[in-house]
Amino acid sequence: MPPLSDITVITLEQAIAAPFCTRQLADLGARVIKIERPGTGDFARGYDTRVRGMASHFVWTNRSKESLTLDVKQPPAHDILARLLGRADVLVQNLAPGAASRLGLSFEALHAQYPRLIVCDISGYGDSGPYRDKKAYDLLIQSESGFLSVTGSPDEPAKAGCSIADIAAGMYAYSSILAALIRRGKTGEGSRVEISMLEAMAEWMSYPLYYAFDGEPPPPRSGSSHATIYPYGPFTAGDGKTVILGLQNEREWHVFCHDVLRQPGLAADPRFASNVGRSNARKELRAIILKAFSNLTIEEVVQRLDAAKIANGHLNDMAALWQHPQLRARDRWVTVGSPAGELPALLPPGAADARDARMDPIPALGEHTDAILAELGFQAGAIAEMHARGVV
């Protein structure tokens, strides 16, 4: 039995951070009821149409959920929300700053009536401080957190290729909710979880923060190479193909010189006697490595690296990741249903196999509205009237 099979989560969510959090709760068996705006739904549904007419972000973060359309600003919605919360264990929201409080959905407003309810609020900057009321999206938080300043080439900063600020916030929300459920099991009391996207990304930025400790310069932008460890990045073989390789210590440096470059004397070169020296002299060392690789194919380079047990990886694109032999050998791909038919989906990390995770369909907008309302005790006539009035 999945570990959260007796947990019900109500979520007012948009975009990525909260949906990623609640999808992971659903992966563990929680019942997740996603409240969406009638007619349009989660605006991430409209980000693109790349997955048989559906948005790639939405497909990724919304499997195994039930979609309930509800205009939470209309008075009849208050009774529906009250009935839902009376059965819920967790409420998650990442609405615009202040919106949850205006709807009466703050932890303070709910705790007396629902003392076991866990309320998770996800926002850009938290509910205090000078940035409290600012809207926040992933790229803005990448910028505010300093991530862009240490990412990219020396000539230009660059964003990450995926929504890392949203992912960071979603991961901390997910783990904090699990901790709150454990706490409730001990105390019987619900609690509030507050997640700030900026604080989540600031935690992830701790290494460059400490590198710049006491006013020291930050790690330089170094493209796809590591800023402070070298050699650790992309190198091209004689056939024009690229491998990413990385050395972590002096033992590996000596093995690399002897068995990969086949230049044992290089290991004693004082310019490269430590990682700090190699990093400072990376231009000279890069030229030496590229020259050694210039007479080899990528297969020959990888063969030498593997034989020497030097870490390396392919510079894959998305097409290669779809077909990655390691994922396929470990049976990480399964199928999930959707309004557009069955789709491939990766098992969540930590799930041993398809029996270990809940992998239910991606919902159509409002797909479960009538069934949920009936479960809450509303009769067919009342449900029809709510549809007619645009409440659901």
Same domain (yes/no): 351, 305: no
CA-CA distance, 239 to 158, in Å (whole number)? 28
Q: Supply 343's token pair.
A: 């789709």
Residue 127's domain comprises: 8-205+347-388
Cα–Cα distance measured from residue 91 to residue 122, given in angstroms and rounded to the nearest whole number:
11
| Burial of 49 per CB tally in 10 Å (0-12, 13-18, 19+) | exposed
Query: Quick check: 354 pLDDT over 80?
Result: no
At 65 the pLDDT is 98
pLDDT at 353 over 80: no
pLDDT tens digits, one per residue of 232-276: 999 999 999 999 999 999 999 999 999 999 999 999 999 999 999
Residues 210, 49: Cα–Cα separation, whole Å: 41
Q: Mean of the per-residue pLDDT values for the chain? A: 96
> Tens digit of pLDDT for each residue in 302-347?
999 999 999 999 999 999 999 999 999 999 999 999 999 999 999 9
The answer to whether residues 185 and 70 belong to one domain is yes
pLDDT digits (tens, 9 = 90+) for 265-299: 999 999 999 999 999 999 999 999 999 999 999 99
CA dihedral 294, 295, 299, 304 (to 10 degrees): -90
113 with 247, same domain? no
Residue 64, pLDDT above cutoff 90: yes
Question: Which token pair is 288?
Answer: 């030496």
Tell me: the pLDDT tens digits for 23-62?
Answer: 999 999 999 999 999 999 999 999 999 999 999 999 999 9
Whether residues 49 and 149 share a domain: the answer is: yes
The pLDDT value given to residue 192: 98
Please check whether residue 226 lies inside any domain of the structure.
Answer: no
* Chain length of the chain: 392
Residue 338 lies in a domain: no
The number of folded domains in the chain is 2
Are 299 and 359 found together in one domain?
A: no
Q: What is the mean pLDDT of residues 181-191?
A: 98
CATH number at residue 147: 3.40.50.10540
If asked whether residues 310 and 357 sit together in one domain, one would say no
In terms of domains, do 264 and 135 share one?
A: no
CATH number at residue 241: 3.30.1540.10
pTM: 0.93
Residue 215 lies in a domain: no
Is residue 117 within 8 Å of 190, Cβ to Cβ? Answer: yes
Q: Are residues 102 and 62 in the same domain?
A: yes
Let me know: does 293 contact 236? Beta carbons within 8 Å.
yes
Percent of the chain past pLDDT 70, that is, above it, reads 100
For the stretch 105-117, pLDDT in tens is 999 999 999 999 9
Q: Which residues have a Cβ under 8 Å from the Cβ of 251 and sit 6 or more positions away?
A: none
270 within a domain of the structure (yes/no)? yes
Residues 79 and 189 grouped into a single domain: yes
Say yes or no: 55 and 144 in one domain.
yes
Is 97 part of a structural domain of the chain?
yes
Q: Are residues 42 and 86 in the same domain?
A: yes
pLDDT at 355 (0 to 100):
77
Same domain for 69 and 129 = yes
Residue 258 lies in a domain: yes
309: left (phi over 0), alpha (psi -120 to 50) or beta: left
Within a domain: 341: no
Q: Is position 321 within any domain? A: no
What is the C-alpha separation between 382 and 76, in angstroms, rounded? 11
Spatial CA neighbour of 298 closest among 241, 257, 245, 260? 241
- pLDDT tens figures, 81-110: 999 999 999 999 999 889 999 999 999 999
Boundary-marking domain end, from 315, 331, 357: 315
